[in-house]
Each structure stands twice: as structure tokens, then as C-alpha cells.
Amino acid sequence: MTPQPLLEVRNLSKSFHGRRSGDAKVMKAVDDVSFDILPGETFGLVGESGCGKSTTGRALLRLIEPDSGSVSFQGQDLLKMPRKQLHSTRRQIQMVFQDPYSSLNPHRRVGVILDEALKIQYRLPRKQRTERVHRILDRVGFAEDYYYRFPHEMSGGQRQRIGVARALIVGPQLIICDEPVSALDVSIQSQVLNMLHDLQVELGLSYLFISHDLSVVRHISHRIAVMQKGRIVEQGPTDEIFSNPQHPYTRQLLDAIPASHPRLARERRTALTTPVS
């Protein structure tokens, strides 16, 4: 028996209208999107720029109000929920954004940034909050003195880990990660990916992992959905999608990924130029 999904998205749609009033042009940014995320699972959402993957992530949390569909989290429809109740649900669903440079307040020390995130969600005495901030810093691999650092005193990967700590501190079950490593160099990207994986194993977290980078998505996801022009064209277990893609667009994406070794690149080029008999 498959476990009960943590999140069930059904027929989610969101259109944007042309900027001028009376503009007949309607852009279906998210078009009839459905998927589930299981507890402890990473669900990857891949596609090229403008395909609607970020809008999907935001619409789930109603950071952008969707037009129709349902988003059920632990059996409750987030789209029907009064705003006030939604606020407390956000304890359980957090977001991590792409840009570790702009998503942290540059004038606040790291400890204060984390404390503020906690204060929004819980009424806790100061001492308890501070304790929790220290615990979370430790959990994402920082020494104690990082409490007093400013974001600009840290590397991109360190800032992104603080972004993850800020999401974690309120104790979520699901984290929506929107291109969390795209701005990072590879050696630093790997720090963040490894950490997300370890936290998942340890805490049973679920992730919606949104990215344009197929290799990264493949590495971290249990299941994947491929999006094109607002629609999910294919979804399934990661290994199946990569070894046996069904949709032509998925194949096109996979074929475009640069080879991991020059020899493989040459083989592929020869294969493409030799006519099939």
C-alpha cells in the first residue's frame, strides 16, 4: 500500500493577463497541474525558464493566488482556507529561494534573521528562541560564532544554508525549494545538496525541488515531473524518466544535457551524424 500523500495538487491553474486592460492575450502560466508529494519524498519539478515551475511553487502557498484547482495538505485544502489559518499552516510548509544574496536582510545578523523567522510563527520566550536558533545553526553545520555574522561575511553556499536554516527553524514538514543551488558554484552547490539530503533522512522532510538543472534534479529527487508551457508533460520515478523518457519534450531536454566526459560527447556526435540504416 502506498503511503498517504502529504500534499495533493489537483488541476492547479493560473493565468496571467496582458498588461494593458482589454488585452485579449492570456498566458496560462500553470495549466491543469496535478501531482502528489509523499512524506519523506523529494519531488522534482523541472523545465526551462518560463515554463511555470516557480509559479506552481508559489501558487501552492498562495503567494500567487491560483485561479482554480485544489491543494490539499494533510487532508485540508489550502486554497479554501481563510488567510489566517493559512498563516499557521506555513509552519509546516516553508520556502527556500534561489538567491542567497537577496533573500537575507543584509543589516541583520544571522542569529537575528533566524530569530525573526521563529517569532513570526511562535510565541516563545526569548531564551527558548535563542536556544533553538543555536540548535538549528549547529544542525546546518555552523560553529556558534556564526550567530553574530552578517550575510555579507559569508560565502554563497553558507548564505544558502542559512536560508535553509530559516526554513527549518519553524519545524516544517515540506520545504519548497525554488532553484536553491542555481546561483552557487559547483563545489558549494554540492554542500547544500548533501545537506538537504541528510536533513531529509534525519527529519523525514519532504521537498518540492524546483530546478532547470536536470542533473541536480536527478541527483536529489525520488520522482520527477517535467513541465513545458505550464503543463506537466510527464511524471514518474526518477530512474524511469531518465532511462525511458516517454514524452518528446523530455527526450529533447535529456539530449541537450552536456556530456559528463569528452569521450561520451564525441560518441554522441558521431551517432548523430551517422545515418541510421
Partner 1 sequence: MTNPALLTVTDLKTSFLTERGPVTAVDGVPFTVRRGETLGIVGESGCGKSVTADSIMRLLDEKDASYSGSVELNGRDLLSLPETEMRRARGSELAMIAQDSMSSLNPVFTIGNQVIEAITVHQKMSQKDAYRLAISLLERTGVPEPEHRMTQYPHELSGGLRQRILIAMALSGNPKLLIADEPTTALDVTTQAQILTLIRALQSSSDMASVLITHDLGVVAEMCDRVIVMYLGQVVEEADVDALFDSPQHPYTRGLLASIPEIDGDRSQPLNVIAGRVPTLHDVPTGCRFAERCDFATDKCRDSAPPLEDVTLETVDMLAGDATPRKVRCWNWRHIPMNTSATTAKAIR
Name the residues that contact partner 1, by CB under 8 A: 48-49, 155, 157-158, 185-191, 193-194, 197, 212, 214-216, 218-220, 238, 242, 252-265
198, three cell numbers: 541528510
Please answer whether residues 23 and 32 qualify as being in contact, where contact means their C-beta atoms are separated by less than 8 angstroms.
no
Q: Based on CB atoms, which residue is closest to partner 1, 55 or 238?
A: 238
Q: Taking Cα atoms as reference points, which of 53, 66, 2 lies closest to residue 231?
A: 53
CB of 17 to partner 1, least distance (A): 20
260, three cell numbers: 559528463
The SS3 assignment for 3 reads coil
Q: Based on CB atoms, which residue is closest to partner 1, 49 or 274?
A: 49
CB of 218 to partner 1, least distance (A): 6
CB of 157 to partner 1, least distance (A): 8
CB of 238 to partner 1, least distance (A): 8
CB of 214 to partner 1, least distance (A): 7
Q: Based on CB atoms, which residue is closest to partner 1, 173 or 211?
A: 211
Q: Based on CB atoms, which residue is closest to partner 1, 160 or 173?
A: 160
d(CA 44, CA 27): 24
Helices (H), 2-155: 53-60, 83-89, 110-121, 126-139
Task: Give the list of residues 6+ apart from residue 190 with CB closer than 8 angstroms, or none.
Answer: none
d(CA 44, CA 168): 19
CB of 255 to partner 1, least distance (A): 7
Q: Based on CB atoms, which residue is closest to partner 1, 66 or 151?
A: 151
Q: Based on CB atoms, which residue is closest to partner 1, 112 or 254?
A: 254
d(CA 34, CA 71): 9
b/e map 23-39, b = 16+ CB within 10 Å: eeeeeebbbebebbbbe
Q: Taking Cα atoms as reference points, which of 275, 218, 222, 277 lies closest to residue 250?
A: 218
CB of 193 to partner 1, least distance (A): 6
Q: Based on CB atoms, which residue is closest to partner 1, 22 or 258?
A: 258
Q: Taking Cα atoms as reference points, which of 51, 52, 48, 37 lies closest to residue 2?
A: 37
